[in-house]
Every structure is written in C-alpha cells, then in structure tokens.
Structure 1
Amino acid sequence: MMNQKHMVNLKWVLSLVLIASLLVLSACGNNKVDTVQETSSNQVMETATAETTSDTSEQAIEVTDLAGNVVKLDKVPERVIALSAGDMEIVYALGGTVVGRTTVSDTVNPPEAEDVPELGNMMNLSLEKIASLNPDLIIAHQQLNAKSVPALKEMGVNVLLTGASTLDDIYKTIDIIGTVMQKNSEADTLIKKIEDKVKSVNKSENPVRALIVFGVSGNWMVALPNSLSGNLLEVAGGVNIAKDYPQLEKYSQYAQLNTERILEANPDAIFLISPGPAKVAMDSFTKEMENNPAWQSIDAVKNGHFVLLPNSLFGSNPGPRVVESIDFFIEELEKVKQ
C-alpha cells in the first residue's frame, strides 16, 4: 500500500496531466475557429472582388462628346464603328477594335484594321452596311458626317461625335474614347506621349512665315490658327501669315484667299491641303499660280518651298499620329531655313 506522501504526489501529477490536456484541446479548438474565420474572410473578399470586377464592366457610362451631346451607354461597347481614320487609330491605340471603318486612300493604320469591313468614304456612307454590322456605338465626325448623323441615330445606335479642330480637341477625343472603353489609364498615357512631343519642340528666334492653302480647284481658302493644320503649324514653331485674316462666316477655321495680302506678307513657305485627290489639287493650284505672274515674286514660290500636306496627317483628326504631323511640319520648316 502507498503511504500518504506517495498518494499526494500521484494526485499532483494527474492534475498536471489533466491541465495540460485541456490546454492542448483549447488550443486546437481556437486554431480551428481561426481557420474557419480566415477561410470565411477570404471567401468574402473574393466575392467582393468578383462583384467589383463585374460592376466595372457592366456599369453605366456617360460622356459628353465634342458636339456637346450627352452619350449614355449601359456598358462598355463591344461592336464599335469608327467613321474617321483618326478615331479608329485611337480605338486601337487604347487596346480596342472596330467592326467597321471608312474607305481610305492611303495605307490603313493600324495594319490589323485592314480586313475590317469598309463602309464607303466619309462623305458617302453605306447605311445598309452599317446597320448589318449591328454596332452598339458609332464614332462619327460632327462636320464631315453631318448629313448621315440623323439617319445613324434613327437606327437606335449610340452615336459619339468627334471632330478635332485643334490639338486640344485631339486630347479631348482620346479622353472621351478612353472613358467609353474604360481605358482611362491608357488614354492618359497616350495624351502624355503627345504632350511630351509638343514640349520637346525647339522654337526658333527667326520662325518660318508660312501660308496654308485649303480647298479644291476654284474654291481655295487659307487656314487660320484655329484650324487643325494652322494649330499644328504654330506648335511646330512656324508663323501663320493669315493669323489676322477675317474668318469666313460658314467656315470659321478658314479665311478667303486674298492674293494682295499674301503678296504683301511674302511667305517663306506655302503648304497645300485638299480633301480631294492630292495630285489633282497640287496640279490645279500650281496652274493657277502660273496664270498669275504675281505669285512668282513670292519667296516660297521662287525657292520651291511649295509643299503638299498628306491627308492622312492633316485631312482630319490624325489621332495618335498627330506626333507625325508635327514632325512633318518641323522637317519642312527646317528645309526652308537651310
């Protein structure tokens, strides 16, 4: 038989074992609860993330286009038609695609848009083809597509109007299309790229004085600084001799071609741009100058600084390639100085 002292020690040992067991069970229980709570928390976060992603792609979008119209979309458009080359290039530059485009006389940019169905030129669109593509957004030019806009809206399709007259308008167009596509970060990056180009231009102390002629045979005008080509000339460091000409009532970005004022200003360079075939325009205006001996006294003509501006870079909104438009002017202005 155990004595009393041994009995006490045994009870003490058993008590310690019991306490240790309870502590282990308690710890296991707490770990289990913590694991359940952590799993539950993760599931809630994953669900919240999924809901946020879904909400972003399906949320309503509202923008004001360059014509001042409020355009509302239920979600990010999936079938976009762009009726100007510049707007199409913006869509692709931001990571999107189009299902329809206008016919262009120059190389299609970007190359991946070459096989996209053509819808006619900007002045003669095929409304039937447009309808057959089931677009959920049409990006149109407010001036060049003005006659077609009512019919486009009658299709029940959202129409977003652009029409870059200045560099600031190009920035606004990129920002608007970026918002519609939910590509705001990409739009900011693209705008900054253009802004950096503008900041990098070195302005000369003796800038080239230039004239920009716009139009077709028998109907020539001169571009003012508030036109796209006029604005880009100044961005590139040139001076527009027509900056003080009175603007036309119907075409506020242009002024009447006044031979006397041009002779008096004696520009160093003359740039020509036409909405029609480039060579036809060049030949036509050259012939008109040859028929008027006074033109032969102008420095630009005497020195052969008479340059045709490519439609792809100056005809309407050049989109992301506006940096190429600026470079074109810079190179031509440098030639005059040499």
Structure 2
Amino acid sequence: MLNIKTRSLDEVLQTYQTLGKVLGHTKEAKKRSSQISAQVKSTVDKMPADGKRVAILFATATSMSLKLNNSIAGSMAKLLKLKNIASSAIPDDPNSETATLSVEKITQQQPDIIMVTSMVQNNALARQTVNRELTSNPAWQAVDAVRKKKIIYLPQQYFLFNGGPNYPDSVAYMAASVHPEIFGKPIEP
C-alpha cells in the first residue's frame, strides 16, 4: 500500500519517482520530473523578491479557514517567495493544512493580497460565497486587501485537487495572479 501526498513540488516529484519504479517506467518518470522541475524553476526565477504578504482563505459551503504552508496553495506561495500570514498559525489538528480563521488577526497582519481556495460545487459558487462573506461582515472592511479588491480566486482544478502533472500550470497561475505585469493574465484551467 502506498501513502502518497502531493501538496508540494517535492512530493509531486517523489510521487513520479515512486510510481515510475512501481510501474516499471523509471525513465519516463525521471523525464517528466525534470520537465516539471524546469517549468516551475522558470516561473520561480521570474518572481520578484518583494515577498508580498498573502492570506490564503479556504472556503466551503458553510465555513472559512486559513490554509497553512503545508497545503497545495501554501506550499506554492512559499515556493513563489510569497509570505503566508498563517505560516505560524496553529493547525486545526496535528495533520491539518488549515487553521482557524480570525478576521481580527488578518486585520492585524494586513496582507497585500487575499487568495481564496475553495471546496464548493464550482468556482463561480465559491466566488459568490466568499464575496457574500466579505461584504456582509463589517470586520472584513478593516482589511486593506478587501477594500482595495486585492482578492485572487484560485481555481479548484489547480488548488483543491493535487496538481500532479499540472503542477507547473498551478504555479504559473498563482504567479500570474500576483504579478500579471510580469507573467501576463493567468490562464484558466
């Protein structure tokens, strides 16, 4: 039995190596791993060192929490030299990739950008759910990124499900969302 996690680039590459060995395709796995690494490196190398501060919200139909650095979006943000304001937050449980959301703490930290990942029926419903929360709760209006509309909705296809072979596209999407002046407009999955 294999226990596979593919939240970070290292985990994705390790999964390719492991499955390549198990399935007898080590050469192909090594080639694809090299391609993924090169594509991600190309994106990371273009990122400015400004280290924008981000809050990564995780929205479901009934609640919101913060994503930590061990999540797909959190590990990509770290890779892209972004500073996740929840990086030192206490996880909801020992193996969790989320922490309890506190609008007050977000207000204190004042992230440059709010990124939203979601697990609802579709991306449009996620946007609607989060927009309703951000506009109906007055506490959110104390967050500069909300007032300035610096909110990035990350597609579920890239940031809810594991990136696997699409990991470079996921990284490129996040990079373009933060710095369209460098990468152009993000390409939807």
Following the alignment from structure 1 to structure 2, what is the Cα–Cα distance between the partners of residues 251 and 306?
27
1:304 to 149, 168, 171: 149
C-alpha RMSD of matched pairs (Å): 1.9
Provide structure 2 residue ranges, at least 5 long, that are not aligned to the other structure: 183-189
Aligned with residue 66 of structure 2, among 222, 236, 251: 222
- Superposition deviation, residue 250 in structure 1: 6.2
Contact 2:7 / 2:163 at 8 angstroms: preserved in 1? no
Corresponding position: 1:164 with 2:9: no
Matches within 5 A, 1:289-300: 289-300=134-145
Moved over 6 A (4+): none
Map 1:271-290 onto structure 2 (within 5 A). Answer: 271-277=115-121, 278-290=123-135
Contact 1:164 1:173 in 2 (8 A): yes
Identity rate of aligned residues, in percent? 27
* Higher-Rg member (1/2): 1
Q: Superposed, which structure 2 residues align to 1:98-113 within 5 Å?
A: none
TM-score by length of 2: 0.86
- The answer for the alignment partner of 1:129 in structure 2 is none
C-alpha distance after superposition, 1:94-140 (max 9, x if no partner): xxxxxxxxxxxxxxxxxxxxxxxxxxxxxxxxxxxxxxxxxxxxxxx
The alignment's TM-score, normalised by the length of structure 1, stands at 0.50
1:199 — aligned with what? Answer: 41
Instruction: Provide the residue aligned with 2:186 in structure 1.
Output: none
Q: How far apart are the structure 1 equivalents of 2:39 and 2:29?
A: 16
Q: Distance in 2 between matches of 1:204 and 1:243?
A: 20
CA contact (8 A) 1:237 1:330 kept: no
Q: Displacement, 1:181? A: 2.2
Aligned match for 2:85, one of 229, 236, 241: 241
CA distance, structure 2, for counterparts of residue 298 and residue 288 of structure 1: 13
- CA deviation after TM superposition for structure 1 residue 209, in Å: 0.8
Other-structure match for 2:18: 176
Q: 2:163 aligns with which of 309, 318, 323?
A: 318
Classify the secondary structure of the residue corresponding to 1:225.
coil
* Superposition pairs of residues 71-110 of structure 1, within 5 angstroms: none
Per-residue CA deviations over 1:137-184 (Å, capped at 9, x if unaligned) read xxxxxxxxxxxxxxxxxxxxxxxxx33122221112111221122110
Q: SS of the counterpart of 2:119?
A: coil
Partner amino acid, structure 1, of 2:40: V
CA displacement at 1:235 relative to structure 2? 1.1
Tell me the CA shift for residue 224 of structure 1.
0.4
Cα distance in 2 for partners of 1:263, 1:170 equals 34
The residue matched to 2:70 in structure 1 has which SS? coil
- The amino acid across from 1:192 in the alignment is S
Unaligned runs of 5+ residues in structure 1 are 1-63, 68-161
Aligned residues: 179
SS in 2 for 1:307: strand
